[in-house]
């Protein structure tokens, strides 16, 4: 697993210090290569280079989370609209099966890793179907932060069931090619995620 993935999945906790020597040994690369990786992570806002402390993993504050959700509402909504306009009904049929079977079981079993993997596959398929390079690049620039937030929110009481209901509604709109509904429902899904986060902010920040 890459360092980016580990940070996004929070297997390296926010606020953790990253040591060049340790990572060079772990990944069997030179310290120069680690420094190069740090530069890329810093550009994506995933680490902070602190004088006399080295690299520290990012920690989102409340205002940053609010900004991410507000931006996502617009971008993800636009993605859903374009995807509905540019895809075929059969493109979404595998997700109809996924959301009505395995995803329900994942929640019941509290297998949040599998649930988030299924959701991310659906989300990526929407972005691909939208076929908009600038939009895709903008969402990619915050993809690790999106993943980190998803992992915090999905474990909140009742959120998984509500999220699945919202995702199914978006999926059904995509399947029938209803661009207006797909956009509106995806935006509502983003607002719902933010409301859940805001309600439990003192427990997950």
Distance CA(67)–CA(141), nearest Å, equals 14
pLDDT tens per residue across all 205 residues of the chain = 689 999 999 899 999 999 999 999 999 999 999 999 999 999 999 999 887 777 999 999 999 999 999 999 999 999 999 999 999 999 999 999 999 999 999 999 999 999 999 999 999 999 999 999 999 999 999 999 999 999 999 999 999 999 999 999 999 999 999 999 999 999 999 999 999 999 999 998 8
Contact between 154 and 189 (Cβ < 8 Å): no
pTM over 0.75, yes/no? yes
Distance CA(149)–CA(95), nearest Å, equals 23
| Overall CATH class of domain 3-57 | mainly alpha
Residue 183: predicted pLDDT: 98
Q: Using CA of residue 139, residue 141, residue 147, residue 150, what is the dihedral sign?
A: negative
User: Of all helices (H) and strands (E), which one includes residue 18?
Assistant: strand 17-18
Residue 87: predicted pLDDT: 98
Distance CA(65)–CA(149), nearest Å, equals 8
Residue 98: predicted pLDDT: 98
Contact between 190 and 73 (Cβ < 8 Å): yes
Domain 62-204, classified CATH 2.40.70.10, yes or no: no
Contact between 89 and 165 (Cβ < 8 Å): no
Residue 49: predicted pLDDT: 86
Distance CA(197)–CA(156), nearest Å, equals 9
Residue 54: predicted pLDDT: 78
């Amino acid at each position: 697993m890459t360092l980016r993935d580990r940070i996004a999945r929070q297997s390296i906790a926010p606020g953790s210090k990253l040591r060049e020597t340790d990572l060079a040994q772990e990944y069997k690369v030179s310290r120069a290569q680690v420094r190069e990786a740090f530069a890329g992570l810093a550009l994506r806002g995933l680490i902070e280079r602190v004088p006399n402390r080295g690299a520290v993993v990012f920690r989102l504050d409340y205002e940053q989370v609010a900004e991410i959700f507000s931006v996502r509402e617009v971008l993800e909504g636009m993605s859903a609209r374009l995807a509905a306009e540019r895809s075929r009904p059969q493109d979404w049929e595998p997700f109809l099966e996924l959301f009505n079977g395995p995803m329900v079981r994942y929640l019941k079993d509290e297998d949040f890793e599998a649930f988030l993997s299924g959701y991310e596959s659906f989300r990526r398929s929407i972005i691909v179907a939208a076929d908009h390079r600038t939009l895709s690049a903008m969402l990619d620039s915050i993809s690790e932060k999106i993943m980190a937030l998803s992992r915090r929110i999905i474990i909140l009481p009742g959120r998984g069931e509500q999220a699945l209901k919202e995702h199914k509604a978006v999926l059904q709109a995509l399947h029938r090619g209803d661009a207006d509904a797909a956009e509106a429902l995806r935006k509502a899904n983003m607002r719902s995620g933010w409301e859940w986060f805001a309600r439990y902010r003192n427990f997950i920040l």
